[in-house]
Amino acid sequence: MDRENRVSITVIRRLPKYYRYLGELLKKGINRISSQELSKLTGFTASQIRQDLNNFGGFGQQGYGYNVEELRNQLGKILGLDRTYKTIIAGAGNLGQAVANYRGFEEAGFKILAMFDKNPKLIGLKIRDIEIKDVDEMENFIRENNIDIGIITTPKESAQDVADIFMRSGIRGIWNFAPADLKVDDKVIIENVHLNESLFTLSYFLKNESDYVRD
Ligand code: NAI
């Protein structure tokens, strides 16, 4: 997709939600859905949904709606979920272990090959079948295994060092949980996850209930 035809990030951020709901519909054996019905499920307006999906070449048919399986497959391809990704975790503490313990990432195609930590007490332990290795081995491991995505769950003080190792060893995507604004070069895509921001948004809406608008 060239620069002018790029789809806006707000549209992209809605796609995983469509994808998730379509998966749930499929599990229930529902094979066809109108944009109105999708609107009731997702909370987005029907015209918003049609507009979003039209960005990628309209998938629906007037009077028929959308074929759930086809649309989910197409969205999966658009989201890059039609392939698998090799990932590693830097920082095998509470959060790193929680991420490693969740099987859902692997089921979605994100295989965690190893975890890395600097604490000798953790090195050699396993979370499910994922071994915690010495962080000194991380750079070589990334190169040898062509790791696609690096997950950062170290304290914020170490996060930039970890990101630097990721960059120089060829990682293209960083999923960063540390509360740090990391500097990365143009070749690397970084996606920050801050649960606090979501929690503080919840707190805002609890305080200002009349402003609550579902999106
Ligand atoms: P933790 O202290 O349990 O784990 C951090 C681990 O990183 C430790 O095992 C430590 O030995 C290791 N470590 C430190 N420097 C390292 C380095 N240079 N290379 C490799 N490993 C290194 O901390 P916890 O609770 O797991 O939190 C981890 C990070 O996640 C923190 O930055 C925290 O602020 C952040 N966090 C973010 C959340 C979010 O929503 N984004 C939610 C909870 C925590």
**Ligand 1 atom at shortest distance from the alpha carbon of 177:** 41
Q: What is the pLDDT of residues 156-204, one digit of tens each?
A: 999 999 999 999 999 999 999 999 999 999 999 999 999 988 899 899 9
25 annotated as ligand-binding: no
Q: What is the pLDDT of residues 144-156, one digit of tens each?
A: 999 999 999 999 9
169: region left, alpha or beta (phi > 0 left; psi from -120 to 50 alpha): alpha
Residue 33 CB-half CA count within 13 A: 27
CA atoms of 88 and 146, how far apart (whole Å):
11
Index of the ligand 1 atom closest to the CA of residue 97: 26
108: annotated binding-site residue? no
Report domain 3-77's class: mainly alpha
DSSP 65: B
**93: CA distance to ligand 1 center in Å?**
6
- What token pair was written down for 129? 């079948």
pLDDT along the chain (215 residues), means of 10: 67 92 94 91 90 80 84 92 97 98 94 98 97 98 98 98 97 97 95 92 85 59
153 touches ligand 1 (CB under 6 Å):
yes
Give start-end residues of each CATH 1.10.10.10 domain in the chain: 3-77
What is the ipTM, given to two decimal places?
0.98
Superfamily of domain 85-197: NAD(P)-binding Rossmann-like Domain (3.40.50.720)
Question: Does 114 contact ligand 1 (Cβ within 6 A)?
Answer: no
pTM: 0.90
Asked if residue 65 belongs to a known ligand binding site, the reply is no
Answer whether 7's CB lies under 8 Å from 55's CB: yes
Ligand 1 contact via 151 beta carbon (within 6 Å): no
Question: Which residues make up the CATH 3.40.50.720 domain(s) of the chain?
Answer: 85-197
118: helix, strand or coil:
coil
